Amino acid sequence: MLVDNLLSPFLGNKVIQRDIPRTYPEMEFFKDGGRGQASLFNVIKAYSIHDKEVGYCQGSAFIVGLLLMQMPEEEAFAVLVRLMENYRLRELYKPAMTDLGLCMFQLECLVQEQMPDLHSHFNNMGFDTSMYASSWFLTLFTTSLPIEIANRIMDCFLVEGMEFIFRVAMSILQQARVELLRLDMEGMLKYFQRDIRERFENDADLLFAVANKVHLNARRMRKLEKDYLAKRTREQEEAVELRSPCIPMNNPCVALFGANPVRNLADPCDEIDHLFIELTLFEYASMDY
């Protein structure tokens, strides 16, 4: 299937090629012109053709790269298909990223319930959950933690699914809580983008030990999912009500936005999240190793 897909015409080659050098730039296997970059491109392109609804999502390159460190590209493609279909990643990577929004909502609620002081600090600083956690879920911590730890997380993810990603997220926040409470917005951004890697590089066993003790109530998580979907539906309905059906076609707004300049209220947030995710991954690619 991989070879067949590679032979199919595809318009997204330039987008994928743009991101390839940003994926594990510190590793020899993925250096410019190396075999790793060629395999990375092949697997990403093949999946984008295989699943046109999902296409290519930037964060998926790091998952593919992690797989290619362990297996040839044909096997990596097969495992990627299974991860997408059976482990919730497909819903996470769809263009609307609704499932990513759900994960951010659930994580914020967990922080509010289990670490209310940290939640209040984040709110006071205007530090949204997506500003530190979106890349955790999209890349399964491969851009935030050393690759050895990311491999262990992937092993646990294959057994427990997305629940384990929540456990690791809460473990990080619990152990970093005292430090984070002392930091302002700039300090927290720096901590999550750079310091977190060094913080847990020598504390991997503790990270997993705390993660395994994190309590997640399955019923509570399902309730939060219902709450999030209801909230999103209300926002979409309110957006429809705000649309004006009678905008003159010579209105300058039409030239910029089309006949419906007020779009779904979730759209601007989605665009901001997409931009922040790209900036976060670019920041990773620009790090000094």
Q: What pLDDT score does 266 carry?
A: 42
SS (H, E, C) the chain: CHHHHHCCCCCCHHHHHHHHHHCCCCCHHHCCCCHHHHHHHHHHHHHHHHCCCCCCCCCHHHHHHHHHCCCCHHHHHHHHHHHHHHCCHHHHHCCCCHHHHHHHHHHHHHHHHHCHHHHHHHHHHCCCCHHHHHHHHHHCCCCCCCHHHHHHHHHHHHHHCHHHHHHHHHHHHHHHHHHHHCCCHHHHHHHHHHHHHHHHHCCHHHHHHHHHHCCCCHHHHHHHHHHHHHHHHHHHHHHHHHCCCCCCCCCHHHHHHCCCCCCCCHHHHHHHHHHHHHHHHHHHHCCCC
Q: What pLDDT score does 35 carry?
A: 87
Q: What is the pLDDT of residues 165-190, one digit of tens each?
A: 999 999 999 999 999 999 999 999 99
Q: What is the pLDDT of residues 95-134, one digit of tens each?
A: 888 899 999 999 999 999 999 999 999 999 999 999 999 9
Residue 33: how many CB atoms within 10 A of its CB? 7
Average pLDDT over residues 78-88: 95
Q: Where are the domains of the chain?
A: 2-93, 98-218+271-285
Tell me which of 81-95, 191-205, 211-225, 250-264 is least confident: 250-264
Question: In the CATH hierarchy, which top-level class contains the domain 2-93?
Answer: mainly alpha
Domain 98-218+271-285 has CATH 1.10.645.10: no
Q: What pLDDT score does 8 carry?
A: 59
Average pLDDT over residues 16-41: 90
Q: What pLDDT score does 272 carry?
A: 44
pTM over 0.85: no
Query: Confidence class of residue 240 from pLDDT cuts 50, 70 and 90?
Result: confident
Q: What is the pLDDT of residues 142-154, one digit of tens each?
A: 999 999 999 999 9
For the chain, give the mean pLDDT: 85
